[in-house]
Every structure is written in structure tokens, then in C-alpha cells.
Structure 1
Amino acid sequence: KSDESTTYASRDVAALIDRIDEFNFDSILYVVGHEQSLHFEQLFKLMKMLGFEKTYVHIAFGLYLSPEGGKMATRKGKAVFMEDVLEETIALAKKTIEEKNPDLKNKDEVARSVAVGAIFFGDLLNDRVKDVVFDLKRILSFEGDTGPYLMYTHARAASILKKAKFKSKSFDASLLQEPSEIKVIKLLSKFSSRVEDSLKQYKPHILAQYLIEFGRAFNEFYHKCSCMGEKDKSVQVARLTLVEASRQVIENGLRLLGISAPGEM
């Protein structure tokens, strides 16, 4: 510039060249808001014109909006801090847990896991390029497309296995013929591909939305097919094995999204 200062673009070029020299990476990911898309498109094009043939990826994301549709802010118009949001979410999660399971021993630990999981999942469920409406009441609900819904589903599966004192053993998969059982099995088979799609496209919402679909299918199976009350022991073992496989998929899927899955809630 005429005042001898540098432009935003020139500083990014210099920084990127320095990173290439220091790390000699194959690919680099820029996690920056979607309003900078044109800037990064130009930056990556320029780098290739300069002879730096690397894989450059702009992982764009949208804004956090209040339930009213504006940018998140306090009533006084100040920025909202994550620490304050987390504290409020933990308090609300603990209140809900106390209502659902007053005898739960580790309420504080579970409340924190539920709060963090609710926030993470509420963000990751949406396509990252879209704006996210942060509605605390909605994301903390134990019903609907939420993290707590999946965490509760995992706890339900774990509870069934605990009551049955289930240990993995050989089973006859051909005994699983009910429509709700087959639906769960088909979705189980898609887990790996959904994880791979999320990774390749840098879009965790693919995995998150799959987990919601899977959770619904598992709960349908839970309500329609008795495990503990099944008199045919071979069928019972097959169903309990399906419960364990389902629990494992939910736990693994949530863990990949940075969310823990409590064994009881």
C-alpha cells in the first residue's frame, strides 16, 4: 500500500509460504467463516500460480444465531462467552436429569457430559456452511434430533445389557426377521460408509444425521421387540447381540463427534 502497510491477502500468502517451508505438508485446511470464501478461492489460485502445488481446502462454516434470528449477544449487546453458555447448559441438564432419574449417583458428571454433548451435537447436526440457530431448550431436549436423545438411547441400550448380564456369544442372525430388526441391521451396515463420507467431505453432519436415523430405528426396535421378556432363548441372544451392536455404533459415532456416551442417565 502507499503507506507501506501490507494487504490482508499478501500477509496470507507470506504466511502460507512460510508454513510450506516449515512443515512441507501435503494439504492444509482453513477453518474460517463462509464470508471469506472468495478470499480463499483467490488465495489458493494464486499459490498454485506461484508453483506451490498443494491441496488447499477452505472449510467454511456459518454463523451462530439467536432464536430470534440475530447474531448471538447478551441483552446489553455484548459478546456471548462459551464458558457462560456451558455453565447455563450444565445447570439445565442437571435439572432435567434430576427429574428423570433422581437416584442417579453421578449427576454432576453426567450433567456435564450431556451439556457438552448437546452443544456439540447441536452444532454438528447442521451442514457446516449453514447458520446455526442456538436454542438452548431445543438442543437439551431428550426428544427429537438432539445429542441428549442419542445419549439417552445409548444409556437405554446399556441398561438392557446390564439387566440381562449379557456377554457376547455366538448367535443365529437368521432369527432376526422382524421389520424393525432388519431396519436396524441395514443401518448398522452403513456406519462405516457414513463415517468415510463425513471425512472425505469434511462434513460431520453426515455422521450426525445418520446417528439420529439410527437412534430412531433402534428405539422402534426396542418398543416392538422384547429382549428381556422373550421366552425363546436363541431369539433373546440374537436380539441382545443386536442391542450390543447398536450400543457400540452409537458410542463410536458420538465419540467421533467428540461426545461421550454415558452408560446411565
Structure 2
Amino acid sequence: MAEFLYGGGYYPLLEKKENWERDLDSMRKAGINIVRTAELFNTWDRIEPREREFNFDFLDEFFDLCGRMEMKILLGTGTCSPPLWFRRKYPESVIINSKKIPYAAHASYSWTCIDHPGYRSEAERYIRTLTERYQGHRALYAYQLHNEVGFPFMSDGQDRVDIYCYCKHSIQHFRQWLKKKYKDISALNRAWTWSATNTVCGSFEECEPPEAKPEVWSSVTRWMDWRLFWMDNFTEFIRWQDRIIKE
């Protein structure tokens, strides 16, 4: 490798424009040669504050400045920060906890369920718009996909991390995942049987994710499948973004 990459986050809209060049020069003198931006703070909700009305001016200026100063940019896809209009357009897109309570939108990033079809459609459109604009820019180094992929670390009110997502889209996706894994419902029933209180499923459409951890008289395998499904689901979500960008 000809150059050692050393960088940090920098968000133009959080700083005065007249300080951008000074800050980048200071960073460069400290050995920093790459900056991460647009994954949070200066991202989808700022760039598209109204549906299909884009504000790239600040990011265009920042890209051009980095290009002149020979600084590279790690550009975030911004999918962790859908704008307010998206929440109004798709009110049912928020993630749902095990008690069927919607997670508060805009309480933190990643409040939208990755299985919601409206989210996938709008996010893909945004990613394509973003990458088509900057794919040939001299300052672009690479893309950061989403940000800290996973669920919000929110308490369930009992000092335990809440568990997600139980929306209809995720449950249906879970059932498809189970069918692919077990192929036959009898195989799933054998795997999920742990105690006398085990519920037998007549079909994959009857399968429900566990709403509590397997602490007492519960199927450990059922819980493990639910967690393994989400690991695979998040992995697929990142691969999905990767495919869009590489197209």
C-alpha cells in the first residue's frame, strides 16, 4: 500500500464554511488524509429535506475543496437517517419491539425497519442519486454503508436492552428464512421442541418469533433462530447496498 490512510469524521454543516479550509489544512498537517462524512449529521435528511428536492450544494463544495487539498472522502450512504417526510409518508415503517410497541422515530438513527418495502425503495433511489453524483469525483475514496448496523440500544424499562423487530414485514421474512433453513415443518418442530410447553407449528405461516428470551421453560433453538435470522438479515441488507453501488 503506497499510502497509509488516517482519518476522522468531519461534517460541513456543523462548521462555519469559512473554517472548512482551515480545518482541513490542520488535519492534513496532522497526517490526516481521509475524512468520513454524510453517514450522519450531513446526510439523507439534510440532502433531501423534501421528497425529491435535493440540496447537494454544501456537499459539492466540500468535495471540491477536498479534491483541491488532496484529501479523500469516505462517503456515507445515509440510509440510517431517513428524512422527516419519509416518516410522514410511511408511518408504519418504524421498528416494533416484542411488546408490539413502535420505536420512537427520530429518537436516534436507525429507527426504520430494514424490511419495510417503502424504506428499501426510497433508500435505493437515494443511494443511486448520491453515488451517481459523486462516483467520478477525484476526492471520493470509498463508501460507508449505513452506520453501526443494528437495532437501537434502548431499554425495555427494566434495565434490559429491548428486542426488535416484530413488524409484519420482518415476521414474514423470518418465516421465509425458516422455510429455507428447515424445508419441512416437521424438521422445524423437532428443532424447536425443548419442553412440554412447546407449541407445534402446522405450517411455516404459523411460525412466530419468540417475544422473550428463553429464560424458563422455553425453546432455546427458537430464540437462536430468531437471532441468527437477524444476523443474516442485516448482512443481506449491507450486501444489498453494496450491489446497488457497484451497479
The structure with more helix, counted as a fraction of residues: 1
Scaled by the length of structure 2, what TM-score is found?
0.31
Scaled by the length of structure 1, what TM-score is found?
0.29
Query: Which one scores higher on RCO, CA 8 angstroms, separation ≥ 6?
Result: 1
- The structure with the largest alpha-carbon Rg is 1
